[in-house]
Amino acid sequence: MKRIFLFSLFILSLAFSKVIYAQEVVDWKVKFNEKENTIELKATIKNGWHLYSQHIENNVGPVPTSFTFKSSDDFQLFGQVTEPTPIKKYDENFEATLDFFEKEVLFVQKIKLTKNAQLEGTITFMVCNETMCLPPSDYKFKIELIKN
């Protein structure tokens, strides 16, 4: 009985180890660019996967990338997060033409500091490959902002 239980536990652990999470597909780096007074949110995306734009033009299902910043009196955000021109291509998963990024993308948020501060935020994103999509995921970050 003990052997059957251990074998079953081993099989279950193997099955769960094959699960892919969005954090394994997209590597986020967030930094403050002092010269430009911007927050740079860089996504490096594994080959074969794509990350959706903030500005999906149709309502067919994928979750657009979004950014939430915790407010503070120590800084002011200007405008919206900007992104480069996305790839516009037919997506088999949603049977629609969608905007997304492959390999790497840099999102930028303008900011003005009143003094040194800490910025906390969350990036919500969704990734798909040619055959499947992963559930939306949240990436939480915290960075130091040094006023020059």
The tokens 């009196």 sit on which residue? 73
List pLDDT tens digits, range 88-113: 998 888 889 999 999 999 999 999 99
Q: What pLDDT does residue 1 have?
A: 46
Q: How far apart are CA 129 and CA 102, in angstroms?
A: 10
6 within some domain: no
Residue 27, domain extent: 21-145
The tokens 């660019």 sit on which residue? 33
List pLDDT tens digits, range 99-148: 999 999 999 999 999 999 999 999 999 999 998 999 999 999 999 999 87
Q: How many Cβ atoms sit within 10 Å of the Cβ of residue 134?
A: 19
Q: What is the mean pLDDT of residues 14-31?
A: 71
Q: Which is more confident, 93 or 13?
A: 93
Q: What pLDDT does residue 123 have?
A: 98
Q: What pLDDT does residue 19 have?
A: 54
Domain count, the chain: 1
15 within some domain: no
CATH number for the domain including 74? Answer: 2.60.40.1250
42 within some domain: yes
List pLDDT tens digits, range 28-66: 999 999 999 999 999 999 999 999 999 987 677 899 999
Q: Give the predicted TM-score (pTM) of the model.
A: 0.83
Q: What is the mean pLDDT of residues 69-74?
A: 95
Q: How far apart are CA 41 and CA 78, in angstroms?
A: 15
66 within some domain: yes
Q: What pLDDT does residue 12 have?
A: 34
3 within some domain: no
Q: What is the mean pLDDT of residues 2-24?
A: 44
The tokens 């291509």 sit on which residue? 89
